[in-house]
A and B are shown apart, each in its own frame.
Chain A
Amino acid sequence: MASAAAAAFASAKHWPRFTQQLLWVIGCYALTVLPQLGDISLWLTILAGVTVTWRIVAELRQWRLPHKWIRIAVAFAAMLSVFATYRTLNGLEAGTAFLVVMGAIKLLETQNKRDLTIVLFVSYFLLFAGFLYDQDLLLLPYMLLAIWILTATLMRVHQSAHMRSREALGTTAKMFLQAIPLAALLFVFFPRLPGQFWSLPAREQARTGIDDEVSPGDVSELSVSGTLAFRVRFDGAVPPPRERYWRGPVLHDFDGRTWRRAQYPYVERRLLPTGPTYKYRLVMQPSQRVWIFGLDAVTTWPRNARRTFDYQLWANRPIATLMVYDLESASNYVVEGPLPNLLRAAALRLPEGRNPRSLEFARTLRSQVDSDEAFIAAVLNKFRDEEYFYTLEPPRLESNSVDDFLFNTKRGFCEHFASTFTMLARAAGIPARVVAGYQGGEFNPMNGYFNVRQSDAHAWSEVWIEGKGWMRVDPTAAVSPQRIESGIDAAISEDEEVPGRIFVRSTLLSQLRNAWDAANTFWNEQIVKFGQAQQQSLLSLIGIHDADWRALGWGLVATLIGFFASMSLYLALRYRPPRREPLVQAYEQLCKRFARINLPRAEHEGPHDYLTRVAVARPELAKQLSEVRALYVNLRYGPNPLSSDISRFRFLINQLRI
């Protein structure tokens, strides 16, 4: 098999040109399909793969291509199957699959330059679709390489004479280098529209990050992933580590094991900051969910987000691409007014007949202390003083999970502690709820951002204290204060797997990670999220302040004019003929001088006729001119011109007083 392939390659040079071109085009197509492979349904991928393979074999064996009606039937079937798979042809995912399949089927009828070009155009479009999926910095070199090879192939396909791939690649590279400045300026100057102007169905993608329900084990499962959840950069003061709670879904409904979000609309109570407020920019990674994990709790937010009654911040639509939010938060606050009755009821509700031992324990404890605060302190003390452990690998819990945890296993992750604490508080008659989110974040000194990863996922409780409103209580902090102060790595014992621990141990690795992270941030902020704000700040760098549509329009016009002028100039220089020989140059100079006194040389005139005519017009030069003429004719057309004669010729010309 391998030797057959080697033999095939050895004979590649002798293949007909069309075969070579076809294989290049198929290669380009494969290059652009590759990044999409994970996103297209498996069997459509197989369909495309089989079609392409058949086409290659047919080309090498010189089989006849299928009849027109067969091709139409196959294309129709493929279209139906895409429709059957995705239930639509509209939308990014179905559209991409459709392009991939149609590109493969187009190959079945490809037998000329035009067909090859169409397949190449499909490949260009697949590159485009790839960018819609993924805008990672890592992908960029691959995409650039693909577009380069694609374009070089396009050039080769359009040459009737043979052109070596190296020449095509070289010329295309040069053309790209010339096109890039224009593309960059267009990119900078082109007016950006805020938001979509029509919406296509978003791509179905696995949701990542914190869910809107939390069961024991959910958060610890998330915590093994080192994937970035979001980045934050503070503008001015930075909250201390123990206040870095990033608020996500707030969970009211408890069934004895799982906490869920409340679905009812409640009245929002105003939130009054009691401490400093923090301004910051939050860059959400795509999560396909609506939560924006603002610092607990957000007081100012942009228009493309809203705040719910329980102070969650929601994006207007699921976050499918990188999103940037400028927010303001207060980490210490009080909530004004009494707790509405409906909400109080929701925050006290407990499932019937579940976790009886815990209920009993809470009621007993509450009767022993004289205030809600004292109860809370007592529960936290229990966690702190008794043999409770903070671990990523807690044992499985029975159906009465709180009972099991509180009295038997005593080993848990943050959601165990938060869930148990909240349930105890409710049992004691204190309105309480669970908040899921993130806690902490790792500072990258290279770009000033805090990176919050999935491993920073956290859950804590909120209790309602009359007169103060909702108060954050983090039972995990009682068990493992290091978790809150220094992050998960410090809190988890040495023998457990923690993502990113390797980076903490090695400075070099962590610096590398920071550098890569900084590059990614720059890429995300300046390129991927380039918008009106960046446009304005970039333009003010070159002295255009408050650029409006008109200024941008002029910028575009100037860019285009500049490009046309410089391209024309560059190419004119590059295509200029080689320098003439000195004799011809001297003669042409002479002609130019005569042309200035209205004796231009006509196209058809040779040196003899022309100089004779000039001599008639200027008799005083006749004698000199006759020598010039004889010398020139001799030098130009005679055998063995002497270099001394050329000097003499130049001398004579300079002597002429025209």
Chain B
Amino acid sequence: MIRALVQRLRNKTRAWARRRHGIDPDPLTLSGRRIYILPSALGIGYAFMIFAMFIGAMNYGNNLALALAFLLGSLGLTAMHYAHRNLATVRIASALCEPVFAGQLATFRVSIENTSRVARHEITVSTDHGGAKPARIDPTERSVLELTLPALRRGTLVLDQFEISTRYPFGLFRAWAYVNMPMRCIVYPRPSERGIPPPPLETDTGGAQDATRGDEEYAGLRAFHAGDSPRRIAWKAYAREQGLHVKVYAGTAVTSHMFDWSAVKGHGVEARLSQLCRWIEDAFAEGRAFGLRMPGLEIAPNIGPAHRQRCLTALALFEGGDDG
């Protein structure tokens, strides 16, 4: 009951803060004016303690006890200023957010930079779904904090608002600001269960034009790059002390899958996307080449993580496509 009320109040303040500040630039230097501060539950306890001391001291006419109450009270007010300043003028920027599959947790990264010459403490970011572990940020350093959000559906998951907050120095006050910095995360479709076999491999004989692919015909040597297969290193040339080279082949017959939207019929859009996703994942895991054919989009067969990402992103952002 009370929790629901608090949540409603919180939502209202958030909406209000959003109207007040608008969309924030990325990166954002947090101005002191938009930092809110309230005593925490502990702070309220502290206030009660000081009040009890105050009443007792007044009652006994005891000046030292009164001075202690005033000192602790003043310390509380000083702590309030520290809490506020601890947050003001930090520089907030969004950082890389890696795509996830639907049903997983999306991790949004927020980079927080301390532009001042004083260390900042206990800075954290949070949403309704939880927050990061509070971090200490040394002068002119930056710290990347992570926010996780459940990615329920494929598409673009947008985190449009989060809180940056601190309870430094004594946990008596919580200073926070609403940051309206939209951050996006691509959510791939959830891969369906294994079961339906992928379409058979096709042999592409047109690879002759493509000098970068294939393994049929020796086409010369090129310099070694990190990541080249050791099987292709020209050891003989190396033995002749000509340096490390790799043999290049071309004009190949390449086998690849072509995953076609229209080939997965009658399952509904999401199910079809899930099936395509599963095939792509399996093919990628086994190192087989694959291509993707969607309505209005065709991605030629290829291999590698960039290709996989391109295909999965196409699935994630796929729009339309009736059940025909």
Contacts and interface: CB of A to CB of B under 8 A. Distances in A.
Interface of A: 113-114, 117, 121, 124-125, 127-128, 131-132, 135, 140, 143, 147, 151, 154-155, 157-161, 163, 171, 175-176, 178-180, 182-183, 186-187, 190, 192-193, 195-200, 321, 527-531, 563-564, 567-568, 571-572, 574-578, 603-604
Contact of A183 (B57, B70, B89): B70
Contacts of A135: 62-64
Given A121-B46, A197-B59, A179 B74 contact: yes
Contacts of A127: 68
Given A135-B64, A158-B122, A528-B64, A117 B75 contact: no
A574 B63 CA distance: 34
Contacts of A158: 122, 167-171
A321 B66 CA distance: 15
A132 B56 contact: yes
B82 A175 contact: yes
Contacts of A187: 63, 66-67, 70
Given A155-B170, A158-B170, A577-B115, A527 B63 contact: yes
Contact of A576 (B71, B73, B116): B116
B78 A175 contact: yes
B78 A131 contact: no
Contacts of B25: 603-604
A124 B121 CA distance: 24
B222 interface: no
Given A125-B49, A527-B64, A571-B85, A117 B42 contact: yes
B122 A160 contact: yes
A113 B171 contact: yes
Contacts of B75: 151, 175-176, 179
Contact of A572 (B61, B79, B85, B134): B85
Max chain B CB contacts within 10 Å: which of A124, A568, A575?
A575
Contacts of B167: 158
Given A180-B71, A182-B74, A603-B25, A578 B117 contact: yes
Interface in B81-112: 81-82, 84-85, 88-89
Contact of B135 (A124, A161, A171, A528): A161
Given A187-B66, A200-B59, A160 B133 contact: yes
Given A161-B121, A190-B70, A321 B89 contact: no
A132 B60 contact: yes
A64 B85 CA distance: 41
B177 to A, nearest CB: 15
B77 A574 contact: no
Contacts of B136: 159-161, 163
B53 A128 contact: yes
B45 to A, nearest CB: 7
Nearest to B90: A575
A530 B63 contact: yes
6 contacts: A114-B42, A135-B62, A157-B171, A158-B168, A175-B169, A179-B75
Contacts of A567: 77-78, 81
Residue from the set B63, B67, B167, B169 with the largest chain A CB neighbour count within 10 Å: B63
A529 B115 contact: no
Interface in B155-175: 167-171
A103 to B, nearest CB: 13
Interface string B46-60: 100100110011111
Contact of B140 (A176, A574, A578): A578
B202 to A, nearest CB: 48
Contacts of A193: 58, 61
A443 to B, nearest CB: 27
A183 B73 contact: yes
Contacts, number: 158
A121 B43 CA distance: 11
Given A175-B82, A578-B117, 14 more contacts: A124-B72, A128-B53, A132-B56, A151-B75, A160-B133, A160-B135, A163-B136, A183-B73, A186-B74, A321-B62, A527-B64, A531-B61, A575-B89, A577-B117
B311 to A, nearest CB: 33
- List the 3 closest A-B pairs by CB distance, nearest first: A179-B74, A161-B136, A158-B171
Give the interface centre of A128, A157, A178, A564 by most chain B CB atoms within 10 Å.
A128
Interface residues of B, number: 53
Given A161-B134, A175-B75, A132 B65 contact: yes
Interface of chain B: mostly helix, strand, loop or mixed: helix
Contacts of B59: 196-200
B263 interface: no
B317 interface: no
A302 to B, nearest CB: 15
B297 to A, nearest CB: 31
A183 B49 contact: no
Contacts of B122: 158-161
Contacts of A171: 169
Nearest to B50: A124
Given A124-B72, A574-B118, A182 B169 contact: no
A576 B65 CA distance: 37
A501 to B, nearest CB: 33
B68 A128 contact: yes
B170 A154 contact: yes
A249 to B, nearest CB: 26
A155 B42 CA distance: 13
B70 A197 contact: no
Nearest to B171: A158
B89 A128 contact: no
A578 B115 CA distance: 8
A183 B72 CA distance: 8
B79 A575 contact: no
B254 interface: no
B280 interface: no
B69 interface: yes
Contacts of A175: 75, 78-79, 82, 169
A176 B72 CA distance: 9
Interface string B110-144: 00000111100110000000000111100010000
A336 B122 CA distance: 79
B155 to A, nearest CB: 27
Contacts of A117: 42, 171
A577 B73 contact: no
Which interface residue of B45, B56, B61, B133 has the most chain A CB atoms within 10 A? B61
Contacts of A527: 63-64, 67
Nearest to B71: A183
Contacts of A200: 59
A127 B46 CA distance: 15
B62 A155 contact: no
A575 B64 contact: no
Given A575-B85, A576-B116, A155 B74 contact: no
A564 B80 CA distance: 10
B45 A121 contact: yes
A301 to B, nearest CB: 19
Contact of A160 (B69, B78, B115, B134): B134
B260 to A, nearest CB: 42
A182 B62 contact: no
A124 B170 CA distance: 14
The winner among B59, B134, B167 for most chain A CB atoms within 10 A is B59
Contacts of B67: 183, 187, 527
A33 B57 CA distance: 19
A9 to B, nearest CB: 27
A395 B115 CA distance: 84
A154 B45 CA distance: 14
Given A132-B60, A575-B89, A183 B118 contact: no
A575 B118 contact: yes
B53 to A, nearest CB: 5
Contacts of A196: 59-61
A195 B121 contact: no
B170 A151 contact: yes
A143 B64 CA distance: 10
